[in-house]
Amino acid sequence: MDGGMVIVGAGEAGARAASALRDNGFGGAITLIGEEHHAPYERPPLSKAVMAAPGEPVLPVIADTARFDAIGVKHIRGSRAVAIARDAHRVRLADGTAVPYTRLLLALGAQPRRLSLPGGEAILYLRTFAEALALRERLRPGARIAVIGGGLIGLEIAASAAASGCTVTVIEAAPRILMRGVPAELAEVIAARHRAAGVTILTGVGIAGIERAGDGSLAVVLVSGERIPADGIMAGIGAAPETGLAAAAGLAVDNGIAADERLRTSDPDIFAAGDCCSFPHALYGGRRIRLEAWRNAQDHGSFVARSMLDQGEAYAALPWFWSDQYDLHLQIAGLVDEGRASVTRDMGDAGRIIFHLAADGRLVAASGVGPIGGIARDLKLAEMLIARRAMPDPKLLASPATKLKGLLAA
């Protein structure tokens, strides 16, 4: 039976893929299956706009019922896929329903990594709109908020909490915040801005457990014995890709659902996209990577629709992520760890950009921090240079007088 295109996962990648299938001329049936009862929505605002909204937060919808009805997408809400019968080309849902497919896309996302600690059930995590609302309830003026993890999600929550008038402590086990993918020089700029907002940052410390007092108050107990009193505790320590459904179906798994350069899995009729999948990137010598980023999910959604229709080339979009904290904008283009040398462009009040160069001088990444709107244009031009495998003179990159547009033209 021809079941058309079935997408499991109604997040950024899945919802974009459903629309892109229509945009690319597919006229058959499209079914989008999601576990949440909401319409597909953007996740980046959950740690920022949703936390800081002066009134009732609004769900940041990607596509609503009217949109899906207009393009003929069947959206099954509140349903979980529990098995894939590859020979029969069917997906079985938790309620027993069997959904036939011709081609299947797994856009399952990732789940927050959870801490296994005594008293850990008191810790809040952030992935869904409902979890964002639960966190928001804790961000009241004067509340004591402990944030476990000094990565992007943890720091965005810390910034939102501080802006809400909370007393905030960030607890990070690593020697510094933003260890993953952010140069130390830029991480210190972010740390200084948090401290200026009154946030306490503890690094290189371990946690023994969570303690709950008789009055319901909480405390994070450090390995040293120090107690951090808290009215709310949130953890952001990374995310684990959703691979269980794929693994149970016998699909290859390698730091996520293993896909090729066209985002096709080890089954030619099953594709994967977004946070749940790893894939080789031609710009970095075929290195297999997995990205937990909004734009990657968006780019994957548009790209994989063409792949499912046997259109297009190998995936080549540049890895890119960003974070807004207070009045600062952090942006990374490319893979920083591919660099073997770096050069910094200091633009004063407009911010600073670090250009990361491979051993042969090729520009492989650019990272920057500055006032919102201050570095975006130059980072966009840097993206284009990276995509073109440019080998610009480091002295020119370092000079604020050098126009990156000119280097691009050269």
pLDDT digits (tens, 9 = 90+) for 363-372: 999 999 999 8
Query: Is residue 314 included in any domain, yes or no?
Result: no
- Whether residues 222 and 270 share a domain: the answer is no
Asked whether residue 122 falls in the same domain as residue 191, the answer is yes
Rounded Cα distance, 384 and 265, in Å: 29
At which of 186, 215, 235 does a domain end? Answer: 235
Mean pLDDT of 381-404: 96
* Whether 187 and 230 share a structural domain: yes
Task: Assess whether 145 and 90 both reside in one domain.
Answer: no
Long-range own/partner contacts, residues 80-87 (CB < 8 A, 24 or more apart): 80/35, 81/8, 81/33, 81/245, 82/245, 83/245, 83/248, 83/249, 84/245, 84/246, 84/248, 84/249, 84/270, 86/249, 86/250, 86/267, 86/269, 86/270
Does position 384 have pLDDT exceeding 50, yes or no? Answer: yes
Query: Among residues 215, 235, 255, which one ends one of the domains?
Result: 235
pLDDT in tens, 232-259: 999 999 999 999 999 999 999 999 999 9
Give the structural domain span for 144: 114-235
Beta bridge partners of 98: 92
Q: How confident is the model at residue 217 (pLDDT cuts 50, 70, 90)?
A: confident
Q: How many Cβ atoms are within 10 Å of 121's Cβ, its own excluded?
A: 9
pLDDT in tens, 320-330: 999 999 999 99
pLDDT, average across residues 143-152 = 97
Instruction: Render pLDDT for 9-33 as a digit per residue (tens, 0 to 9).
Output: 999 999 999 999 999 999 999 999 9
322 domain-assigned: no
CATH of the domain at 353: 3.30.390.30
54: confidence class by pLDDT, cuts 50, 70, 90: confident
Let me know whether 179 and 268 are in one domain: no
Is 223 found in the same domain as 148?
Answer: yes
Assess whether pLDDT exceeds 60 at residue 39. yes
User: Does residue 87 sit in the same domain as residue 225?
Assistant: no
Residue type, 304: V
Q: Each residue of 158-205: pLDDT tens digit? A: 999 999 999 999 999 999 999 988 999 999 999 999 999 999 999 999
Q: 337: which DSSP letter?
A: G
Which of 203, 206, 198 is closest to 187 using CA atoms?
A: 203
State mean pLDDT over 263-276: 98
Q: Is the domain of 45 the same as that of 101?
A: yes
Residue at which a domain ends, from 235, 256, 290: 235
Are residues 138 and 114 in contact, defined by beta-carbon separation less than 8 angstroms?
A: no
Chain mean pLDDT for the chain:
95
The CATH number of the domain holding residue 85 is 3.50.50.60
Examine the domain organization and report whether 344 and 287 are in the same domain: no
pLDDT exceeds 60 at position 1: no
Number of domains in the chain: 3
248 and 100 in one domain? Answer: yes
pLDDT of residue 409: 85
